[in-house]
Structure 1
């Protein structure tokens, strides 16, 4: 089961749009819901007014679970919701109880975050797989969102668990980022052994990149900033490549690159 939550964990909706994309492009159906009243502050996650066929309807924040059939050999479940405001422990327990009802053997949480990265390079993606955590996970201490809490609860229940986070350039604001959604779909496809049709997202990602480049060209300060980010990105990529080849002094190169990046970000 994959899980994505709107809000703090969902920069440019890159994570929640993974679920929306799958629901739209593959055979899917709603199979479960979690009642919203106990978990949301309606002054934060407000209900929406909707008029359909002359009738007025209120759409309340809620958690929806989907069954998604990718092909004959691949069937997944997806959970999507605004991040709850209250009772996270109870919420996660209910979520995992539904997962167990569906015979789910593992949970993959998705997230996206604003970060210092250039739009001209592949967006950084961090994957934490079960007990084997990525470098960022080992170093991070601080506030977490509901994806991290659900991931930890899944581990405590003995489920396979993984998390996937994509970084979004913070200088581009809050518009949707198809490039980030594509990166998460690519990581998810690699995990489950499936190649997603992302042709529609490819077009949107190119448009996003072109619009970002126009914005940068119109602002000299922003140009300098992006050039700086590109330099940092390329330096780290070079150090990682050296490390993967086992070249002499590779470990030192990686440490120097990471120390340099931390210093620039402080």
Structure 2
């Protein structure tokens, strides 16, 4: 069965792939909303979608219901979509991917993705992720990165690098990057760090930081005014939400001092999956002690 549905077959010029997965490493929707923002601002056109039937356990990743503009009830299934954008400034076009981390048949899913990459001659792949971290909401969102080849790390523009050597559970992004590396592709990753004590989402400060970095790294000129306004609103609302808690306010002040000191010192950051493992262990301990707090 062919799970890929081509709605259009554009002639693309050495496209760069920029993508994100909804799921494990999309804290506060930072990565997925970044792709949505790019698609909206650039008016990128959808040209491929993936049939979800074979790749999801719908009791775990459930479809949702909503009413459309005509008031008709519609079922929305987990989506995987690709969009293209003709770049008027250079001879390199773009493919934007937004998918939902699959529950099943990861290897089949990845091979299907690679067939699109092979078909359009993609040479550079950029993946986006966001992770919950011990960072304050009152600072510009930290962006870190990594590359699969030493010779392309300078394209990250001086970003702090994620460390290697992690051993443990991984998300679909790592499996996808591994497949791209085995194809000899250049792979770059950008990671937005979101404050772990904030439960509300989405976090548009992370979106602003990721899109701004993509502009610099890929020579894009995506307007930022809309997301900048939403980022200011996010910070204001979170500050207001935590202001009634002396404990949380003091905790944020401590994070601010740690954050400022860490930025000055620089150095390598832990692998994103290691950060998630550590954070989950921390939250389990907090829950067991009855001292967990959050800003809603």
Q: Would you say same fold, with TM above 0.5?
A: yes
Q: 1:235 aligns with which of 243, 247, 261?
A: 261
- The aligned counterpart of 1:100 is 118
- The aligned counterpart of 1:245 is none
Describe the SS at the equivalent of 2:201: coil
- The aligned counterpart of 1:58 is 75
Q: Encode CA deviations 1:150-208: one digit per residue, 9 max, x unaligned.
A: 11110011111111111100111141111101111122122211232010000010111
> C-alpha displacement at 1:50, in angstroms?
3.9
CA distance in 2, matches of 1:70, 1:207: 31
TM-score (norm 1): 0.85
> C-alpha displacement at 1:106, in angstroms?
1.5
Describe the SS at the equivalent of 2:44: strand
> C-alpha displacement at 1:217, in angstroms?
2.0
CA distance in 2, matches of 1:174, 1:96: 35
Q: Which runs of 5+ in 2 are unaligned?
A: 1-16, 154-159, 283-296
Checking the alignment, whether the CA contact within 8 Å between 2:82 and 2:98 is kept in structure 1 is yes
Checking the alignment, whether the CA contact within 8 Å between 1:26 and 1:69 is kept in structure 2 is no
Q: Encode CA deviations 1:39-59: one digit per residue, 9 max, x unaligned.
A: 111112212234443644332
Describe the SS at the equivalent of 1:233: helix
- The aligned counterpart of 2:59 is 43
Q: Which runs of 5+ in 1 are unaligned?
A: 241-253
Q: 2:173 aligns with which of 130, 133, 147?
A: 147
Select the structure that is richer in helix. 1
CA distance in 1, matches of 2:162, 2:35: 25
Checking the alignment, whether the CA contact within 8 Å between 1:50 and 1:56 is kept in structure 2 is yes
Matching of residue 67 in structure 1 with residue 84 in structure 2: yes
Checking the alignment, whether the CA contact within 8 Å between 2:22 and 2:100 is kept in structure 1 is yes
Distance 1:187 1:113, change over 3 A: same
CA distance in 2, matches of 1:167, 1:217: 22
Q: Encode CA deviations 1:12-58: one digit per residue, 9 max, x unaligned.
A: 11101111112212122111122211111111221223444364433
CA RMSD of aligned residues (A): 2.4
Matching of residue 123 in structure 1 with residue 125 in structure 2: no
CA distance in 2, matches of 1:229, 1:204: 23
TM-score (norm 2): 0.77
> C-alpha displacement at 1:216, in angstroms?
2.8
Distance 1:51 1:219, change over 3 A: closer
Q: How does 1:158-169 map to 2 (within 5 A)?
A: 158-169=184-195
CA distance in 1, matches of 2:199, 2:87: 32
Checking the alignment, whether the CA contact within 8 Å between 2:131 and 2:192 is kept in structure 1 is yes
